[in-house]
Structure 1
Amino acid sequence: MLKKVMCFMLLLLLLAACSEEPVIVKKDSPPENPDSNPAIVKKQTNVQDEAEKFVEFALPDEQIMINLEMVPILNVYLRTSKNREKAIREMNLSRIEADSKELYLLEFSCHKKLCSYLLLDKSKKNQAYLVADMAKSMQIQLSPDNDKIMLHFNRKQTTPVPLSDIVVIDLKNWVPLTLENKSTDEQLLGFKWPLISSYWFDNNTIEVVKPAVPKPTKSNMDKWQQNSVPVTKIQFDIRTQ
């Protein structure tokens, strides 16, 4: 069911990408109150009696508005929310520091501390990409050449240590990249294993640190936590097109 929801959300984003309207609008003036909650605002259009709806976020040094018509996932989520004001108030937008790029991560639709995440890029075609659903953002890191971004997510399930996934986006072509595990045939990504940390080894390789156990079962993880948490390093290569 989760995969079907993710596919539907991605389809909505692709449809929105065909339009020329901006996803993100930045106000010229800084916010009066950087601690204020997100809110719905309207912007008049050229069509009589019509206005576009935006969600406005106050960041420490800038005001950002997200055009709901251009992010159908967000639009549908808010329209179907039982308490729209509460859903908006619980959203969180953070800026990702990146040379010559204006990247943002939007956290929304949270339930029991697990959320959906949209990666937004204002610097190039105002693009948006759904990078995770029902997860918690743990780490964000740009590649050494700033052409790719890695996002590490955790999801708390039945194991004592949360399971993990890693998403890498090509910022030039705005597409997800496939990671190949050259060390073992075991599937570590997709919330199959807990990953303690992850980082760029070079522009095309990511190294992760995982518990040194044969399987991430509850009993194995309990023993692992009691035995000085030994770890193993695994490298993933980015598959070239």
Structure 2
Amino acid sequence: MKKWCTILGILIFTLAGCQSSHKTAQSANLEGVQTESTQNNSERQPSESALEHEVIINEKVYSFRLDDYPILSKYVHNFHDPLKKFQSLTFKPIHEDLYVVTFACHQNKCSTLLLDLKKGASFLLSDLSALVDQQLSIDEAFASFLFERKRENGTNIHQLLVIDLQTMQPVSLELDNDDNLIPRPNQYQYEIQSVTFKNNQLLIVSSDPSSITKNTWLETTWTYK
């Protein structure tokens, strides 16, 4: 009798162990399915940067994705609400769907970005500088941007960029003649007082880097294409 009780106890213990193992396996399988499902849902849902949003600028509605503007996207993602920060920026119109945006400012030194909100393209114009002037060419195919920095002695130096608005790339500047040899105006080497478009040329009034006399102004003509 005692032998049969022992056998019966072993059978009950074995059966209970099998059921426990089965439940454990079922639980593991269920967790695996749930994890896979969560991962799949995460993969299927695009990030906010990849989603299309709408913004109204100059009474125009634009659809945009933050991913289209990597530099600006990286900046706005430093904030709690990247989309809200993007929409709070000041978009200064240049021509049609082209805008200039200044951001990441510190003591009047900013980063400046040229945006084409229709094409979803951008070009970084300058860093750690102040945009003091911008102009559109007569044929509206080019734009000039004048940036300012200060030397340690407090005097101003400037950088001039001329951008082809179709390609959103800077063009080269060449002196129209060699009467007044002067470095190119895109290298922060001297002060630029004024910039004027004239046909396919630019008239630039600048300080003369070769002169030791202060406030000696020089007018030069530059061809940009």
- Letter paired with 2:198: F
1:61 Cα deviation from its structure 2 partner: 3.7
Check whether the contact 2:160–2:185 (CA below 8 A) recurs between aligned residues: no
Q: Which amino acid aligns with 2:186?
A: L
Which of 207, 210, 216 lines up with 2:206 in the alignment?
Answer: 210
- The answer to whether the aligner puts 1:234 opposite 2:205 as a matched pair is no
**How far does residue 212 in structure 1 lie from its aligned partner after superposition?**
4.5
What's the CA shift for 1:151?
A: 1.0
SS at match of 2:113: strand
Matched, 1:191 2:188: yes
Counterpart in the other structure of 2:74:
76
Query: Does the 8 Å contact 2:161/2:186 carry over to 1?
Result: no
Alignment match, 1:3: none
Report whether the alignment pairs 1:138 with 2:124. Answer: no
Native 8 Å contact 1:91 1:109 kept in 2: no
Task: Determine helix, strand or coil for the equivalent of 1:74.
Answer: helix
Deviation string 1:88-115 (CA, Å, 9 cap, x unpaired) is 388432122x3xx321101111121111
Residues 97-134 of structure 1, C-alpha deviation per residue, up to 9 Å, x if partnerless?
x3xx32110111112111111111235x3321111111
User: Which residue number in structure 2 is paired with residue 109 of structure 1?
Assistant: 104
Instruction: State the alpha-carbon separation in 2 of the partners of residues 155 and 64 from structure 1.
Output: 33
Q: TM-score if structure 1 supplies the norm length?
A: 0.61
Q: 2:15: which partner in 1?
A: none
The amino acid that maps onto 1:206 is: L
Higher helix residue share = 2
Identify the structure with bigger relative contact order (alpha carbons < 8 Å, sequence gap 6+): 1
Amino acid at match of 2:145: L
Alignment of 1:15-26 (within 5 A): none
Instruction: State TM-score, norm by structure 2.
Output: 0.65
Question: In structure 2, how many angstroms separate the alpha carbons of the residues matched to 1:214 and 1:58?
Answer: 49
1:149 alignment counterpart: 143
8 Å CA contact 2:195–2:203 kept in 1: the answer is yes
Paired residue for 2:114, among 116, 119, 124? 119
Partner in structure 1 of residue 65 of structure 2: 67
Give the conservation status (yes or no) of the 8 Å contact 1:57–1:93. no
Gaps of at least 5 residues in structure 1 are: 1-46
Q: How far apart, in 2, do the equivalents of 1:60 and 1:171 lie?
A: 19
SS of the equivalent of 1:107 reads: strand
State the alpha-carbon separation in 1 of the partners of residues 113 and 53 from structure 2: 14
Q: Distance in 1 between matches of 2:148 and 2:54?
A: 28
Deviations 1:14-46 (A, max 9, x none): xxxxxxxxxxxxxxxxxxxxxxxxxxxxxxxxx
Structure 2: give runs of 5+ residues left out of the alignment: 1-42
Q: Percent identity?
A: 22
Q: Is the contact between residue 59 and residue 94 of structure 1 (CA under 8 Å) also seen in structure 2?
A: no
1:120-155 CA deviation, whole Å, 9 max, x = no partner? 1235x3321111111111111111111111111111
* Among candidates 149, 164, 170, match of residue 158 of structure 2: 164
**How much is the aligned-residue C-alpha RMSD, in angstroms?**
3.1
CA contact (8 A) 1:94 1:104 kept: yes
Distance 1:178 1:190, change over 3 A: same
Structure 2 CA distance for aligned equivalents of residues 114 and 56 of structure 1:
29
Structure 1 residue aligned with 2:24: none
Shift, 1:51, TM fit: 5.0
2: CA distance, partners of 1:155 / 1:55: 35
